[in-house]
Structure 1
Amino acid sequence: MTPKGKSVLVVEDDAKIRRLVKVYLEREGYEALEAEDGEEALKMFKQFDPCLLILDLMLPKLSGEEVCIIIRTELRSTVPIIMLSAKVEEAERIQGLKMGADDYVTKPFSPQELVTRVEVILRRTVQNCRKINYRGLTLKPLKGEIHYNGETLALTHHEFRLLYFFMSHPDQILTREQIVDELYPHQEKIVTERTVDVHVGKLREKLRYDGNHEIIETVRGMGYRFVAY
């Protein structure tokens, strides 16, 4: 039985690597879908709506970078993405994260460790997949959609995840450190807490406030709070 009824799309042009990852995923009960190039990956993504992508950067037809950008911008999906690459430089990892990847694994890698990373990400992202409603905001996590008073809001990948994190913890104070851990897992040394302030500022600009009360409230010296009522 597939954990939580979810599937993983493995996008890798090297058939041996792709099938090895598939074997390890299926051992843990996941449904593993396969794609060998970027164009096929997008077709399968639209058709099967997987819960996570394992995405190689160096792909025929469309690169992994192009696939990631299309998923995040054109399709506006927040589906978790783990990038695979032989490039080990820090700049490459940062670039991958900026494009919207949730994790970055360098080759060669341990298939078991990769599956563990899949489990960790899915445990965090699918445990609250229900639709959330607060103060005119309706957020649909799996669809990557957010509506405010009936209108669709255009949010970036990180803005959507940030709002989802806030709405999943209504009226709770969330520290900048907690938000960094949520938005950039495993990348504590790369991302500063100042990045959180930038994301919150941009998100506030896109949200309209009711009366004099902000939806995202600054708690001085502590962090931020989503005011649900």
Structure 2
Amino acid sequence: MKEPILVVEDDVMIRNLITIYLNKNGYDVLEAEDGERAKELFLKHHPCLIVLDLMLPKISGEVFCKWVRKDMNNNDVSIIMLSAKSQIGDKINGLQIGADNYITKPFNPDELVAHVEAMLRRTGMMCQKITYDGLCIMPRKREVLLYDKSIHLTKHEFELLYLLMSHPNTVFTRERLVNELYAYDEQDILDRTIDAHIKKLREKIEAVPSKPRRIRTIRGMGYKFVN
């Protein structure tokens, strides 16, 4: 199931267009026509990504964005701003107050969907709680529970576990894991780095790390999470 997306746009035709294209690509969409309604939906549903118009009634897009980032102290949700304001200063301001991306109107809806998917690949795909046999990962909280006991993971360990649990019984080569998880890291990531993270994960989530039941090694290929 793909992540819920909040679309905040007062122009009903534009809002409907965005919703249609996102629905067509398998996303659940929450719709808000103004900033106040956007706050209500955000608090109730905790969307992973927000498509946000700037010129909104009641509460502006700028104010709403600042509220999400500062008052709610939320940096997990991705924000794509949509605006008719096309000056470079407007774009810089939007990014400085908390947007992850800035798209000017008029826009191509297929391009917007591509931006959404790219954003979720990099920072999202982290809304759904996943539970298998006592192991529970809650991406938005960055928390992992093993039989209701909290397990501390490093950033890389967490992202690796989430990727594997999100694709149960799928074999990931070391090269694919490097490309999926560390493409934006400055340091060189080697196969042995992946092996080290797997080893640490097993020590934390496996009853017998030397005989792993959850994260299996597929000889000559890579690793998979067995549900």
Q: What do the CA deviations read for 1:54-78 (whole angstroms, capped 9, x no partner)?
A: 0000000000000000000111112
Residue identity opposite 1:58 in structure 2: M
- 1:44 is aligned to 2:16: no
CA apart distance, 1:37:
0.3
Q: What secondary structure is seen at the aligned counterpart in 2 of 1:29?
A: coil
Q: Is the 8 A contact 2:3 2:127 kept in 1?
A: no
Residue identity opposite 1:25 in structure 2: L
Q: Is the 8 A contact 1:25 1:32 kept in 2?
A: yes
Whole-Å Cα distance in 2 between the matches of residues 164 and 94 of structure 1?
Answer: 29
Kindly report which structure 2 residues correspond to 1:190-229, keeping only aligned pairs within 5 A, or say none: none
Whole-Å Cα distance in 2 between the matches of residues 168 and 16 of structure 1?
Answer: 38
Match of 2:66 among 60, 69, 73: 69
How many corresponding residue pairs? Answer: 168
Q: Is the 8 A contact 2:48 2:126 kept in 1?
A: no
Q: What secondary structure is seen at the aligned counterpart in 1 of 2:64?
A: helix
Q: Is the 8 A contact 1:76 1:144 kept in 2?
A: no
- 1:119 is aligned to 2:136: no
Structure 2 unmatched ranges of 5 or more: 130-137, 144-153, 161-177, 189-196, 201-227
Residue identity opposite 1:72 in structure 2: R
CA apart distance, 1:126:
3.2
TM-score, scaled relative to structure 1: 0.58
Q: Is the 8 A contact 2:5 2:51 kept in 1?
A: yes
Structure 1 unmatched ranges of 5 or more: 132-139, 146-162, 181-218, 223-227
Q: What secondary structure is seen at the aligned counterpart in 1 of 2:51?
A: strand
- 1:80 is aligned to 2:72: no
Task: Determine which structure has more spread, i.e. the larger CA radius of gyration.
Answer: 2
Q: Is the 8 A contact 1:9 1:32 kept in 2?
A: yes
Q: Is the 8 A contact 2:77 2:124 kept in 1?
A: no
Identity over aligned pairs, percent: 47
CA apart distance, 1:127:
4.6
- 1:17 is aligned to 2:23: no
Whole-Å Cα distance in 1 between the matches of residues 10 and 53 of structure 2?
Answer: 8
Kindly report which structure 2 residues correspond to 1:52-201, keeping only aligned pairs within 5 A, or say none: 52-77=49-74, 78-127=76-125, 141-143=139-141, 168=159, 178=184
CA-based RMSD of the aligned residues comes to: 4.0
Q: Is the 8 A contact 1:12 1:36 kept in 2?
A: yes
Whole-Å Cα distance in 1 between the matches of residues 52 and 46 of structure 2?
Answer: 15
Residue identity opposite 1:123 in structure 2: R
Residue identity opposite 1:52 in structure 2: L
- Correspondence for 1:192: none
- For the structure 1 residues 72 and 19, does the alpha-carbon distance in structure 2 shift closer, same or farther, using more than 3 Å as the test? same
TM-score, scaled relative to structure 2: 0.59
- For the structure 1 residues 130 and 37, does the alpha-carbon distance in structure 2 shift closer, same or farther, using more than 3 Å as the test? closer
- Correspondence for 1:31: 28
CA apart distance, 1:141:
4.8
